[in-house]
Structures are given as structure tokens and as C-alpha cells.
Amino acid sequence: MKELHLISFNYPYPPSYGGIIDVYYKIKALSDTGIKIHLHCFVDQIPEIIDQEIKSITKNVFFYRKKKNPFQYFSTIPFAASIRTSDALFQNLMSIKAPILFEGLQTTRIIRQLKDKNDNLYLRFHNNETEYYKGLSSSEKNVFKKLIYKIESLKYADYQKRTLKEFKGVFCLSEKEFNEVDVYSKNAHLIHIFHGNGSVKHLDKKGDYFLFHGDLSISDNRKALEETIGMFKNLPQHQLVVASDRAGEDLKKKISDIGNVSLVPIETTENLHRLFENAHANILLSYQNSGTKVKLFNALYNSRFVIINENITDDRALMDLCHLGSSSDKIRQHIIEIATKSYDENDTRRKVLEKNYSDDAKAEEMVKIIFKD
């Protein structure tokens, strides 16, 4: 029986945002191959119950509280990593002999204790954290947060360079990150994001609105929405639906003052899929060059046209399924043109996505690498 420890930066249910979507559907796909998963989660509050969806795909689930000490900000270790440490985690890892998969660099603080105990250490490289926090700092308007993100970026520059070499394998999400890791550690593998979509939805030729969806507590998404709203204010004939469960009061007021823009909650996966199905096109923008965003897969599998800028993906095959705009003017032109177009790309997407980006194929590849001995 093949077993695997998986250390997650958070409890992976519900799978409602980028990184945790990859974690949840990766566990599910690995479990489907017959791997027994020992799941370790760092959380703010330990849940009273474990969801059946998690129970059904894991053998054990362990929880550890993230540290609350603000003095961790003064550590030379990145804050997100320094708050995720636990003696109990070490004991639990030692009690069951199995390879260990770390989800993101923020879960790797314990690696110093493990280096001599287990050489089957693997990392899911979710982001080039140096670039990620640099991007957050650039997008953030709050001066204090901007400084915090900048410091975290500098800490990660040294931390990830030292740490990446300690793993037997590093599973990267994108070509860009694969090349960055492979340059100095030579242990990189390209495994695209796990997204949970099985088949491309067959949709008719027309939808009812343009859709922007995302977590609006993140500065990059807020900046992207501001740009999108700016375009639609000058396109009053076209409707924009903004879907998010995390919109501040100032943003709610701003949207309420614009006649052709509306804000709706997501709340459930079913609601999000309904929004996708009824959308004529999706607007996906980012100011961080950090590989393919999971929201792109959701839109391509479940909706019609997709308009992106160059930071949504660096994967040429996926880019070819979208309408790329490198400036606001070009994106605005795509909006105008697509509004009158009929959607007929079901077969094209099916050939590309279902053949090359299935979760099952990615899980099989990971299993071959981790358990090759």
C-alpha cells in the first residue's frame, strides 16, 4: 500500500480559491489512484468536524494551529512560513514512514528537522513567492501593507533559494516557474494546476453578460476589477456581473452607482457554475506574472469566451483558447467585438483541455515520480 504525507497551508475544503483548489483536487486525484493520504493542515481554528468530502479521500487528518505571535514578523524566515511550525507535526510525520509532499514554501519550516530523517521530500511550488509578494506590494494601496509585502518578498528571495535544493522533487505549476527552479536546483517537474474539472461543458451560442469573479480581499483582484469597471462605465450597452463573497463596503457602493455593473455573491460552487453557464464572456486580469491562474481553467471548462491579459497564463496552448489583450484599449476592443459573436468553441476546447490538462493524468505522473523506487 502506497502512503503519502501531504502538508497543507490550510484546510482544503471547501475548495474556494486558487491554491486550496489545487490542494483539494490533487488529494482527490491521488486518492483515486489508490494512494493513502495522511493530511496535515495548518489552520487558524481547528474545525469541530471534518467534512465527509475530506474523510472520503484521506486516511488520516491532523490539524495544527498557526502561531499568533506578531513578533514572527521580525524573524528572518518569511512570516507565512514562521507561523506554520509544530512539534506535533514532526511526531506525526515520524510515526508513519512515507514520502512527504509540502504544499507551498510556507509549510516547509520543519524541513530542518526532517533532512536527516527522510530523503523522500517533495514540494508543490505554488508560487515564486518573491515575485508574488512583490506583486502584492505593487498592487496594495495601504502603505503599511505595502511595506509588509515588500519585506516578505525580500525574505523569500533568500529562503526559497536555500530551501528548494533540499527536495527530491519540486512540482511547478507553470513553464516560467519550472525554468526558474531548474536553473539552480535541477529537481523541477512541470505538473499543471489541479482544477477539478472533468469535461468541457457544451454551451449554446449566446450568454447574457460579461463576468468578473474573484476574491476581492486580494489587492491584485481589486486592482483588476477597478480597471474592468472603468472599461464598462464607458460601455453602458454591455452588462458586467461581478461575482465575489469578499467585497468591501466602499466597493459595493461604487458598483451600486453604475447602472450596467452588478455585484452578486458566489456562496456555493453550484452558484458559480450557474454564473459561468449564463455568461457570454469572462474578464480575467492580473498584474502578477505567477503562472496559470486556476480561474482560467474554471472559465474555459464551464463558460464561453475568455478575455485575458498576459499575466493570466504563460501556457501557449491555453492562451490560444482565449482573447489576449495587452492593454485596456485592446481588452475594451475585445469586449465590443465578442458581444456580437456567437460561441462555437466547444469542440476545440475539448480537444485541448480533456487530452492535456486532466487531473487524472497529472496525478499518475506525480505518483510515478514520488514512488519510482
Buried-exposed string 52-83: b where 16+ CB fall within 10 A, e elsewhere: eebeebbbebbbbebeeeeebeeeebbbbbbb
Answer yes or no: do 346 and 364 share one domain: no
pLDDT digits (tens, 9 = 90+) for 286-335: 988 767 888 999 999 999 999 999 999 988 999 999 999 999 999 999 99
7 and 82 in a single domain? The answer is yes
pLDDT tens profile 189-231: 999 999 999 899 999 999 999 999 988 888 889 999 999 999 9
Measured CA to CA, the distance from residue 156 to residue 78 in angstroms comes to: 6
Q: Where are the alpha helices (DSSP H) in 79-207?
A: 79-82, 87-95, 111-114, 129-139, 143-163, 175-185
Verify that 120 and 16 share a domain, yes or no.
yes
Q: What does the pLDDT look like over 233-287, one tens digit per residue?
A: 999 999 999 999 888 888 899 999 999 999 999 888 889 999 999 999 999 999 8
If asked whether residues 150 and 214 sit together in one domain, one would say no
Q: Both 259 and 130 in a single domain?
A: no
Task: For residue 347, tell me if it sits in a domain.
Answer: yes
Same domain, 226 and 168: no
- The values of phi and psi at residue 12, to 5°, are -85, 40
155 pLDDT band, cuts 50/70/90, is very high
Residue 15: the pLDDT is 86
Comparing C-alpha atoms, which of 299, 327, 309, 286 is closest to residue 243? 299
The answer on 101 and 133 residing in a single domain is yes
Report the pLDDT value the prediction gives residue 237, as an integer from 0 to 100. 96
User: Is residue 71 pLDDT above 80, yes or no?
Assistant: no
Domains in the chain: how many in total? 2
Give yes or no: residues 115 and 213 share one domain: no
Average pLDDT over all residues of the chain? 92
Asked if residue 41 and residue 187 are part of one domain, the reply reads yes
Q: Answer whether 229's CB lies under 8 Å from 254's CB.
A: yes
For residue 201, being part of any structural domain is answered with: no
User: Domain residues for 132?
Assistant: 3-194+358-370
Which grid coordinates belong to 182?
Answer: 531548474
Residue 337 in any domain: the answer is: yes
Interacting residues of 73 by C-beta distance below 8 A, sequence separation 6+: 79, 148, 151
Polymer length of the chain: 373
Given this model, what pLDDT does residue 288 score? Answer: 81
Do the Cβ atoms of 140 and 146 come closer than 8 Å?
Answer: yes
Is there a domain that residue 66 lies in? yes
Residue 180 located in a structural domain: yes
Task: Mark whether 351 and 362 lie in a shared domain.
Answer: no
Domain-embedded: residue 104 = yes
Least Cα distance to 36 among 11, 14, 61, 53 occurs for: 61
Give counts: helices (H), strands (E), the chain: 17, 13
Q: What angle do CA 140, 144, 149 make, to 5 degrees?
A: 60
Query: Which CATH number fits the domain that encloses residue 322?
Result: 3.40.50.2000
Q: Are 362 and 351 in a shared domain?
A: no
How do residues 347-362 score in pLDDT, each as one tens digit? 999 999 988 899 999 9
User: In terms of domains, do 178 and 297 share one?
Assistant: no
State mean pLDDT over 66-80.
84
Is residue 333 in some structural domain? yes
- Answer yes or no: is 199 within a domain: no
Q: Report the pLDDT averaged over residues 8-36.
A: 93
